[in-house]
A and B are shown apart, each in its own frame.
Chain A
Amino acid sequence: MSPGDGEQVLSYPIPSEAALEPPAEWAALRQRCPVARVKLPSGDEATLLTRYDDVKQVLADPRFTRLLNADDAARLSDNESGGLFSTDMAQVIPDSGEGHQRWRRLVGKWFTAKRMAALRPVMAEMAEQLIDDMIKRGQPADLKACLGFPLPVYVICDLLGVPAADRDRFAYWSDTLLNLTRYGQTEIDEAQAEFIQYMADHVADKRAQPSEDLLSELIKESDADGGRLSDVELLATGMALLVAGHETTANMIGKMVGMLLADRARWERLLADRSLVRSAVEEALRFDANPGFGMPRYLGEEAEVGGTVLPRGTTVICSMAAANRDESVFDGADEMDLGRSPNPHLAFGSGAHSCLGQALARTELQVVLEVLLRRLPSLELAVAAEDLRRVDGLVVGGLREVLVRW
């Protein structure tokens, strides 16, 4: 069977009306066409994977690279640059082998479970403050704008040593850099140029006057052991952390709360048993039907996936969200079970490139949920769950607003 035999070429991303429901095509693709041909917003074709085993294999397989700026790689969007994944900046951080591992371990030590646990009080304080402000402004309130969007930017700015006064600019750059269709190429280029300039100045400041943040430590240590990160690597690292850590977590906070309140029995179960917060966060990550684009990979040599031989030069899109609904791995995959365990979902990817900041994201989501349960136990959606709307045009999926009362 060749990819997409007998099937019409699907447009990707697959349009979906309901904000919290998966598109019907996922189940059909997993069953009948797990290696499917799709057409991207650029008009280029790619291969979509939807089964758990295939997605997991490809994400951990070094033959499937991040080199999406290759001449024959599919462009994701019709912007000249082809979007975030193929910017020059995305190529600075080593893709594989020892170079990647060196970078990963230099930065990764900042995201250990223990360090994240130590950040809990700071995060809880930020969440309390944002919830106080939301309560003052009155109900109904947009929980995404009041809490979901600002909190992760505050945390990342904190990690990078960026002053509080610049947080809003960071939020704008992050939003712009991740967009595939909402902003024009000029705006994207301008935002990228501004951000690069800001970070270059910031790195220079930190070199001159190091403090306690991640960037300063990276500068100090990489200088000390000879394997130093160049200014460009430091800059790309700062950009990667912002781009990877802001919009994703911001939207996930909104979606998690949306999912938990869409069926209020879920919220009540958590109120009755707070020890479920950890597994509830994992289940929200698995159950998220609106995570965004998925993970693109470029195949540097011929390889077989799910019984199909893919030629060299294929661009593969891994749909982790479709894989997370795979009935062959998750019992009752279409039920949200807050106590599900184990929950080996692929929301953070898999293998050597799995999300560097996953402990940070988990901790933020757990802290937000704990603080919300404590401060606003009467929380409920102020609109019908069917009226929640998806954001358009982002690499990262989310809800436009999450209007709540308490």
Chain B
Amino acid sequence: MKINVDEAKCCGAGQCVLLAPEVFDQRDDDGVVILLEAEPSEHLHAAVREAAAVCPAAAIELSEST
């Protein structure tokens, strides 16, 4: 799994951080997403997929091709 985040779209809702804090964080100065781990290990995939599905700004893109 490879993750791309779109900082310009991000609205700082923080859902991704609540769901997968090992993978996502938010910048202290404006709340915009920080991608900690672009290729997270397998046990985090479910949480990352959920984060992408519920992101209100659709700012998380996943490519899952192997």
A positions within 8 Å CB-CB of B: 60, 104-106, 108-114, 116, 278, 341-344, 348-356, 358-359, 362
Contacts and interface: CB of A to CB of B under 8 A. Distances in A.
Interface string B15-41: 101100100011111111000000000
8 contacts: A106-B30, A108-B31, A109-B27, A109-B31, A342-B49, A352-B9, A354-B11, A356-B12
A342 B57 contact: no
Given A105-B30, A359-B18, A362-B18, A112 B12 contact: yes
Nearest to A109: B31
Nearest to B28: A109
Nearest to A341: B50
B28 to A, nearest CB: 7
Given A105-B30, A109-B28, A109-B30, A351 B11 contact: yes
4 closest pairs, A vs B, by CB? A113-B14, A105-B30, A113-B17, A354-B56
A104 B15 CA distance: 16
B26 A114 contact: yes
B32 A105 contact: yes
A84 to B, nearest CB: 22
Contacts of A108: 11-12, 30-31
Contacts, number: 75
A53 B18 CA distance: 25
Contacts of A112: 12, 14, 17, 26, 28, 31
B62 interface: no
A110 B53 CA distance: 24
A355 B14 CA distance: 11
A351 B56 contact: yes
B17 to A, nearest CB: 4
A351 B8 CA distance: 12
A33 to B, nearest CB: 27
Nearest to B13: A358
Given A105-B30, A108-B30, A109-B30, A352 B54 contact: no
Contacts of A342: 49-50, 53-54
A342 B49 CA distance: 8
Given A113-B18, A342-B53, A342-B54, A352 B31 contact: no
A114 B14 CA distance: 8
A352 B45 CA distance: 26
Contacts of B57: 60, 350-352, 354
Contacts of B25: 114
Contacts of A362: 18
Contacts of B53: 342, 344
A350 B56 CA distance: 5
Nearest to B53: A342
Contacts of A349: 56
A362 B53 CA distance: 17
Contacts of A358: 13-15, 56
Contact of B14 (A106, A116, A341, A343): A116
B13 A354 contact: yes
Contacts of A356: 12
A114 B17 contact: yes
Contacts of A114: 17, 25-26
A209 to B, nearest CB: 24
A255 B9 CA distance: 32
A172 B17 CA distance: 34
Most buried by A among B31, B57, B58: B31
Contact of B11 (A104, A110, A278, A343): A104
A359 B56 CA distance: 12
Nearest to A352: B11
B11 A359 contact: no
Contacts of B54: 342-344
A324 to B, nearest CB: 13
B30 A111 contact: no
Given A105-B31, A113-B18, A359 B13 contact: yes
Contacts of B58: 60
A276 B42 CA distance: 22
B54 to A, nearest CB: 5
A106 B53 CA distance: 26
A53 B49 CA distance: 20
Nearest to B24: A113
A237 to B, nearest CB: 15
